[in-house]
Amino acid sequence: MTAPRIALIHALRESQQPAWNAFATGWPEARYFNLLDDSLPVDLAAEGELTPGIVERFRTLGRYAANTGTRQETTQAILFTCSAFGPAIDRVKQDLPIPVLRPNEAAFETALDSGKRIALMVTFPGSLPPLLQEINAMAQARNVSPHITTLVADGALQALQSGNADEHDRIAAHAAATLTDIDVLVLCQFSLARAAKVIAPVHGRTVLTTPDSAVAKLKRVLSR
């Protein structure tokens, strides 16, 4: 098949490289392009909630991404990489006829398949409420009742944004080491994926990154 054209929509600059790395290792034939609006998390923090205006901005980004390309080559799917905006992304899903993926949905699907004790780690606290809503809704749809633990790796995102990637990874690894009695650890932000390599393996625990899971799902969906 012809390599598909995929839109990546980012709200953090730090989410871009993990997405690119996931495609490089998981689906190098795919062709993607990038849209970035890094004012979105700033505005979300200032508003304190997902406002209708922010939702409409996501719908605008989705329509723009879907309508890029040529008559011979159109966008075949959209992957959002911003984990704090699940309900807004769902509105984009409703608007468009092409596959639109929330950043965490593929990882959450795998997590729910992999165990009942699931830990969600983030570095941006504002991500947690929509992520909990998302995974709980998915669990309810499957008629399962997982035990969900949440954890914020405080200071990690700030370290990454200031250029100290090693400190970001150290903070994330330290946070992961505090977790006990879990089956699956989901690194719930694209920017967190880089820390997977330094998180010590624990027997019986699966560690999932959102970009790798998302790319694997896109490959399955678009290769049918």
User: What's the pLDDT at 54?
Assistant: 97
pTM of the full predicted structure?
0.91
Cα 105 to Cα 65: distance, rounded to the nearest angstrom:
20
Mean pLDDT over 92-116 rounds to: 96
Mean pLDDT over 132-152 rounds to: 95
The pair of three-digit structure tokens given for residue 114, joined into one six-digit string: 């992999």
| Share of residues in the chain with pLDDT > 90 (%) | 86
Q: Tens digit of pLDDT for each residue in 108-136?
A: 999 999 999 999 999 988 889 889 999 99
Lowest mean pLDDT among 2-6, 14-18, 30-34, 39-43: 2-6
Mean pLDDT over 42-68 rounds to: 95
Q: What are the residues facing 165 on neighbouring strands?
A: none
Is residue 171 pLDDT above 80, yes or no?
yes
Mean pLDDT over 46-68 rounds to: 96
Mean pLDDT over 39-54 rounds to: 94
Q: Tens digit of pLDDT for each residue in 190-217?
A: 999 999 999 978 887 999 999 999 999 9
Q: Domains in the chain and their CATH numbers?
A: 5-103+212-222 (3.40.50.1860), 105-210 (3.40.50.1860)
**DSSP of 17-46:** HHHHHHHHHH-TT-EEEEEE-TTHHHHHHH
Helix axes 86-95, 52-66, angle to 10 degrees: 50
- Cβ neighbours of residue 32 under 8 Å, at least 6 residues apart? 5, 6, 7, 8, 19, 20, 23, 79
- Mean pLDDT score across all residues of the chain: 94
Centre a 10 Å sphere on the Cβ of residue 86 and count the other Cβ atoms it contains: 23
Query: Residue 9: in which H helix or E strand, if any?
Result: strand 5-10
- Report residue 1's pLDDT band, with 50, 70 and 90 as the boundaries: low
DSSP structure class, residue 70: -
